[in-house]
Structure 1
């Protein structure tokens, strides 16, 4: 082993440790890898940064935009509503249809995004059926993972494997190359979950426990005991508040008055605008204030600040539902914000939303909430602009958006453009199937058409892209080149051949699956595919066999992250709502992973002969 290879392997080990311990962000680690390769002379600048020009990076970014377009036009939510209508009260039908629907949507959308959308649906269904959410949450996450086996664009590892085939001079994978295996695994997954659901959290829900169902603003106001806490106060001419920002006024610290919204005149009507720290108050503004934590006399407060109390009817929030939204969120297990207060988190400044209620053990907490340390299991009621509420779905490292009230149906930003979004999606798939247009160009065309049809705007498009995922791919791609240049790939292939090469190609496939699945326990499946795809293709070349079954086994095993709750973001998402323990995933996930492995080793060579 030469010195350069030892350096590359050391760097790889450091990266794996950093990924596993989460001491640094994945995208930061990826950029540090590029810097280390260039400064050490292992790769030149062009080689180390080649990932930025990789067509698959562009394709993945475009797919994030297309997925967000399907959300903004309501297509994804309509699938959830259809699911509830068709399944009725049958848990078996619900589980089966849920897995099929999630796997189908995940074939063209981010699996993490699809699972996040369906978590409230599953919670609502579980409450209506009076069953434990745990009986449906794990099937939801497994279906999200299986969706990666449905199409070429379903998950980044598939595109990484296809790109590696092209780089080695072979034809890339087709749009539906992986689909036959995915369909078989999905059928197995549905049957497996129907048989093992009794091993999941099967305790009947407490009758006194909150029924997680789709409620209205009125229900949320009642459950969080907000009635009588809010005040509408208009700024009179000459008020000392005019011209100052909320941060400058310190109303919450001085008076216990939390401004949760501002009514402002725009184009001959009042609209509700979000209350940020840098929001400057204007004459004729009407402040919506939560006074629950205040012991100040309201009349004295209004006189001092020249405010005029206004009527606040019970229907107020429902009437404002086009401008202001409510939602319930909970904390992700092991979230960095556990134990911190809302003030410590600077929640309002960071997310543009106000927390107006916290429920703990099913009971609304009284008093001043801003300094209350948050605990695992707390449910927060946030209020603010619908757009900011939707963006909480992107902060899956900290929060899970649990429940959106029924008023959200009126706030899908581009619901009338749903047919156009479906047309754009169908056109993209059709172009990819013909092979006349490169996949990245087909996706870009679909994105441009979605913008033309106003399914998505530019601001939403840029925000929908998960940049850390793209940088992770960009940073890991040089590893494959570095291992190849320093002889690491050849060393790994020789070791694999010496160990099992004489036992036949199916045993080699089996070992590749195991190695890929185990590596995926410590680093992301995308990084795993980047590292394993060159080894698999080199092994096929040394055995003088077709590279396609070896490439396919890497793509499938990279998506088979069923074994632990930290193997994939979709598993982590359902951990809290499903009330799972680490051992629940091991108990259910390990046998299913072994089943998928056996089926793949049998099926892949039949579909893609050696």
Structure 2
């Protein structure tokens, strides 16, 4: 019986492989399970049926694509941890306040410059809050910024080999098939054609995007904290102009100056810092945690027995609706004097409390960031009028390490661009550097890796190997070769690009790339033509898909954040797909 089953599997292995693939596609479309789970189950099916042997399966772990993708995600995480990304945000917001329309152009130009060097998925994650801040500063509806941002990030990722995980997957498969590796900027000329076509299309269609507000815009408005900075006695900043203080070069915004009984909110650029001054400022949670380590300023509000801001642990808590001190000044709350903790800042949904930290009257659901000794924190936890007292997950920036993180990324790109070492090797060495120099802690580095992405890549590489071992790839090639044997090179490029694009709109683009690439390579070999231009068509066609929210990871991100409808993507995405695709294919034909 067992021998009969084995004989049947061997005799019909190619068809069985295609049936497994078809079942995976159906499950991708039905979305009963996450895409990585379906890919893993497909791998299991190939293993159980014996269509994929052990050496073939374990050989997928030697592919450089998952390593390169994971490493680039860690490097992106280091840029965030060191505040390099936040510094860019602050510059953008400052520019938007002075030159709103020009700032929008500059942001999108910066996005196109960043996307080729950073995986575009974390870039979009970083850019979504920037877009909301930019929308508030310029008055442009967020929905008219988010979708164009995603489209340009994807097109920017098509400018280099490391811009998208899809490019790395295709390159890894091509190397496995014995082809020469792609250079980091080999696809740039074709990507530029797509970028130019995409920009023109967006300019023509931008008014078709909805302009209704997004709830996230108002929800994000209350994320900052109100706090106060008091110069220490030995501060090196005494007598310096307020607006030139280094503390305000980040995301900390000066709101006012308390000098004695006087509060000043205008003409601050003319004032100098004096001993005893209290600077009323606005800061994000991460900036607030960074200020804790300042040698020049004491931060927050404390009682006679309160510790310094950098002493003890920092916890977050919320004011309960039953708190007896609701409506009273924050400076009069009993736990400041009784417990002896220090309030680093207060945050309120939708707007900032005020006029300053001590005089802010507390309301239910106000969030406090508090620091104190372990015994004092335990007393806060026992206070029934405070909700959710727990250690804050927010960590301070490590700005002193930002040059190291930037240098590590730049060096990775440079050595890969000049083909000195493979991108995966360069990125792993860069990770060693940022960990050794403490740009990012180990647990933070590992949490920067998207496990779903890596599982999907490895599983689909295994599925691709299984299709080859089962003879399914050869069978598909035998079907297509007679149909395409008489097609001109131009028609061949167009067909492969748009077939890849269509599949990617419905399925995972990484999965499509992993399946289509070996088929295209074998097809080119059988037709006696250079497979390289066709592989470039697969690379860009698998990424540059904008007509559905599931077409690409960044589409899904902005679909949720921007509260778009499915029809919004179709309205903008279909013409963008066509125009970009035609431009890319013509450039491949002309230059390839």
- Residue 25 of structure 1 is aligned with which of 27, 31, 34? 34
- Is 1:290 matched with 2:319? yes
- Residue 428 of structure 1 is aligned with which of 403, 412, 430? 412
Give the alignment of 1:102-113 within 5 angstroms. Answer: 102-113=111-122
Aligned partners of 1:51 and 1:473 also within 8 Å: no
TM-score calculated relative to the size of structure 2 = 0.71
- Is 1:78 matched with 2:102? no
Change over 3 Å in CA distance of 1:70–1:499 after alignment to 2: same
Deviation at 1:441, TM superposition (A): 1.2
Which residue pairs with 1:216 in the alignment?
Answer: 224
- Is 1:310 matched with 2:335? yes
Deviation at 1:446, TM superposition (A): 0.8
Q: Secondary structure at the match of 1:51?
A: helix
Change over 3 Å in CA distance of 1:601–1:383 after alignment to 2: farther
Q: Mind listing any 5+ residue stretches in structure 1 that lack a counterpart?
A: 220-262, 276-287, 299-307, 329-354, 359-380, 390-410
Change over 3 Å in CA distance of 1:14–1:95 after alignment to 2: farther
Aligned partners of 2:193 and 2:584 also within 8 Å: no
Change over 3 Å in CA distance of 1:539–1:86 after alignment to 2: farther
Aligned partners of 1:326 and 1:383 also within 8 Å: no
Change over 3 Å in CA distance of 1:325–1:211 after alignment to 2: closer
TM-score calculated relative to the size of structure 1 = 0.69
Change over 3 Å in CA distance of 1:309–1:412 after alignment to 2: closer
User: Using the alignment, how far apart are the partners of 1:557 and 1:312 within structure 2?
Assistant: 64
User: Using the alignment, how far apart are the partners of 2:511 and 2:206 within structure 1?
Assistant: 32
Which residue pairs with 1:62 in the alignment?
Answer: 71
Which residue pairs with 2:357 in the alignment?
Answer: none
Deviation at 1:417, TM superposition (A): 1.2
Change over 3 Å in CA distance of 1:309–1:569 after alignment to 2: same
Which residue pairs with 1:508 in the alignment?
Answer: 492
Change over 3 Å in CA distance of 1:195–1:490 after alignment to 2: same
Which residue pairs with 1:320 in the alignment?
Answer: 344
Spell out, residue by residue over 1:510-539, the C-alpha distance to the aligned partner (whole angstroms, 9 max, x if none). 111121111112321111110011111112
Aligned partners of 1:37 and 1:48 also within 8 Å: no
Change over 3 Å in CA distance of 1:169–1:268 after alignment to 2: closer
Change over 3 Å in CA distance of 1:128–1:540 after alignment to 2: same
Root mean square deviation, CA, Å = 3.5
Change over 3 Å in CA distance of 1:356–1:215 after alignment to 2: closer
Deviation at 1:20, TM superposition (A): 2.8
Q: Secondary structure at the match of 2:506?
A: coil
Change over 3 Å in CA distance of 1:59–1:311 after alignment to 2: same
Spell out, residue by residue over 1:334-358, the C-alpha distance to the aligned partner (whole angstroms, 9 max, x if none). xxxxxxxxxxxxxxxxxxxxx9589
Deviation at 1:2, TM superposition (A): 5.6
- Is 1:539 matched with 2:547? no
Deviation at 1:327, TM superposition (A): 8.9
Which residue pairs with 2:549 in the alignment?
Answer: 565
Which residue pairs with 1:417 in the alignment?
Answer: 401
| Further displaced range: 589-598 or 89-98 | 89-98
Aligned partners of 1:356 and 1:383 also within 8 Å: no
Give the alignment of 1:364-383 within 5 angstroms. Answer: none
Change over 3 Å in CA distance of 1:436–1:123 after alignment to 2: closer
Change over 3 Å in CA distance of 1:83–1:58 after alignment to 2: same
User: Using the alignment, how far apart are the partners of 2:390 and 2:110 within structure 1?
Assistant: 31
User: Using the alignment, how far apart are the partners of 2:204 and 2:159 within structure 1?
Assistant: 23
Deviation at 1:42, TM superposition (A): 0.8
User: Using the alignment, how far apart are the partners of 2:33 and 2:499 within structure 1?
Assistant: 25
User: Using the alignment, how far apart are the partners of 2:39 and 2:198 within structure 1?
Assistant: 34
- Residue 178 of structure 1 is aligned with which of 159, 162, 187? 187
Q: Secondary structure at the match of 1:320?
A: strand
Q: Secondary structure at the match of 1:34?
A: helix
Spell out, residue by residue over 1:284-313, the C-alpha distance to the aligned partner (whole angstroms, 9 max, x if none). xxxx55321x4x989xxxxxxxxx942499
Change over 3 Å in CA distance of 1:512–1:22 after alignment to 2: same
Which residue pairs with 1:449 in the alignment?
Answer: 433
User: Using the alignment, how far apart are the partners of 2:183 and 2:494 within structure 1?
Assistant: 23
Which residue pairs with 2:45 in the alignment?
Answer: 36
- Residue 490 of structure 1 is aligned with which of 474, 483, 492? 474
Q: Mind listing any 5+ residue stretches in structure 2 that lack a counterpart?
A: 1-9, 228-302, 326-332, 351-363, 368-386
- Residue 192 of structure 1 is aligned with which of 201, 214, 218? 201
Spell out, residue by residue over 1:397-447, the C-alpha distance to the aligned partner (whole angstroms, 9 max, x if none). xxxxxxxxxxxxxx6521221111111111111221232322211111111
| Further displaced range: 71-80 or 24-33 | 24-33
Change over 3 Å in CA distance of 1:214–1:498 after alignment to 2: farther
Which residue pairs with 1:404 in the alignment?
Answer: none
Which residue pairs with 2:57 in the alignment?
Answer: 48
Structure exhibiting the larger radius of gyration computed from Cα positions: 2
